[in-house]
Amino acid sequence: MAIREGELPGEGMRGENKVKTKALVIFYPDCIEFEAMLAAQVLHEEHMLIDVATPDGSDYHGPSGIVLRATHSYRDVDPSEYRVVILPGGDTKSVLENEVLLGLLTAAQAAGAAFGAICGGPLLLARAGLLKGRRFTHGYGPNSALPYWKDGTYQHQPVVVDGNIVTAQPQAYIDFAVEVLYAAGLRDTWAVEAMQKAGKLAADRQAEIEGVKAHYKAIWGGA
């Protein structure tokens, strides 16, 4: 699913380091791929190259029959290349103790990546220790007794943003996609331009984010 390379509009070099223009989607057996697809799409529309990693680099075969081309195995990923990492939900048990994946996530955090995890995806962040001291939500419900949550604070909300980490319940995939985009330091230029033409451009960042969400919901539906 590699899409397009190129620098972000108006950006190029910062000192000797290029602005990161890549996003990584983590797939695993029995994950729910569609939960990550809208977030990947809105990132792509802002000129991000989308890479897909699977445990062994094999193409991802979803339960619906969809096949998505993998660009990397977990082991072949260079975490320092990515501006944002996305984890969909699903049954995480096959990778919950995958040391290569857990190391990838911690290395990406150390390199400054933002994260978006939806439904069961936050469990992988928690297992990697990335939710320690953070506020988060997930798709397991408020009574989940899994031990991995103990170092953070669960909030029973559709989406929770804590710094550069966005977590979401499964029904909030539109809000999730928009929040991931902004957590990565980007703006939805298409939606912003549409709001501007309609005379609805927001006065501040949070109001803009809410306006972008409403814009997409008006097009695609969703709560």
In a domain, 1, yes or no: no
Strands 67-68 and 60-61: antiparallel
Angle between helices 205-220 and 189-197 (to 10 degrees): 90
Predicted pLDDT of residue 8: 36
161 and 65 assigned to the same domain? yes
180 and 199 assigned to the same domain? no
In a domain, 3, yes or no: no
167 and 217 assigned to the same domain? no
The secondary element (H helix, E strand) that includes residue 209 is helix 205-220
138 and 61 assigned to the same domain? yes
144 and 215 assigned to the same domain? no
223 and 175 assigned to the same domain? no
140 and 217 assigned to the same domain? no
146 and 216 assigned to the same domain? no
102 and 37 assigned to the same domain? yes
Predicted pLDDT of residue 215: 82
The total number of structural domains in the chain stands at 2
The secondary element (H helix, E strand) that includes residue 117 is strand 114-118
Predicted pLDDT of residue 16: 36
Query: What is the model's pTM?
Result: 0.88
CATH number at residue 94: 3.40.50.880
113 and 66 assigned to the same domain? yes
142 and 115 assigned to the same domain? yes
Name beta bridge partners: 161.
166
Cβ neighbors of 119 (< 8 A, separation 6 or more) are 32, 35, 88, 89, 90, 138, 139, 168, 169, 170
Per-position pLDDT tens, the chain of length 223? 333 333 333 333 233 346 799 999 999 999 999 999 999 999 999 999 999 999 999 999 988 788 999 999 999 999 999 999 999 999 999 999 999 999 999 999 999 999 999 999 999 999 999 999 999 999 999 999 899 999 999 999 999 999 999 999 999 999 999 999 999 999 888 778 877 887 776 778 888 898 889 888 888 776 5
Question: What would the 3-class secondary structure string for 32-74 be?
Answer: CCHHHHHHHHHHHHCCCEEEEEECCCCCEECCCCCEECCCEEH
Structural domain that includes position 208: 188-223
155 and 208 assigned to the same domain? no
